[in-house]
């Protein structure tokens, strides 16, 4: 019960906007929802097939990240709907700074932060696997085997 009550503070209808805002933090002139919401096979809600290019692969990475964190025991209460989970972060000089106060915030914050970096081109896809495996974003370190599929 305490876990669900604590998580209640982290849910809201505007959570999907956080990923958009992270992209805009790193690329202020972008229009993520207009430019990427219906792009390729994976940008937007859902996804299927083979990514059409590097941008679509970034969206594919984001989708699979949500699936991966859903397998982490600490993330179980929110894994069914990651699009409504609100987390804490700030933007400073085109840099996304995560300020997670609870472990569950990590679960989707990290997916959005790293995927936003991929989308705006600050992290080449060829180095994505290394970054996902080695970035010390929190004490909770999930396995990121899924990135080897790209």
Domains contained in the chain, CATH given: 2-144 (1.20.90.10)
Long-range contacts of 141-150 (CB under 8 A, 24+ apart): 142/68, 142/69, 142/71, 142/72, 143/68, 144/68, 146/64, 146/65, 146/67, 146/68, 147/61, 147/64, 149/64, 150/57, 150/60, 150/61, 150/125
Confidence of residue 148 (pLDDT cuts 50, 70, 90): very low
Model confidence at 130: pLDDT above 60: no
Predicted pLDDT of residue 108: 66
Mean pLDDT of 104-133: 59
- Residue 44 known to bind ligand: yes
- Residue 64 known to bind ligand: no
- List, for residues 48-65, the tens digit of each pLDDT value: 888 888 788 888 888 887
**Residues annotated as part of the active site:** 62, 112
- Residue 47 known to bind ligand: no
Predicted pLDDT of residue 29: 81
Model confidence at 13: pLDDT above 50: no
């Amino acid at each position: 019960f305490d876990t669900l009550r604590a998580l209640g503070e982290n849910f809201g209808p505007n959570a999907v906007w956080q990923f958009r805002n992270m992209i805009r933090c790193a690329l202020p002139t972008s229009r993520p929802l207009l430019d990427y919401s219906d792009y390729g096979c994976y940008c937007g809600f859902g996804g299927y097939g083979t990514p059409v290019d590097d941008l679509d692969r970034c969206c594919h990475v984001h989708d699979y990240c949500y699936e991966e964190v859903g397998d982490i025991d600490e993330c179980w209460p929110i894994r069914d709907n990651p699009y409504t989970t609100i987390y804490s972060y700030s933007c400073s000089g085109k840099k996304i700074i995560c300020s997670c106060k609870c472990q569950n915030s990590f679960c989707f914050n990290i997916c959005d932060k790293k995927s936003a970096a991929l989308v705006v081109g600050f992290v080449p896809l060829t180095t994505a696997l290394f970054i996902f495996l080695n970035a010390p974003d929190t004490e909770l370190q999930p396995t990121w085997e899924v990135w080897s599929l790209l």
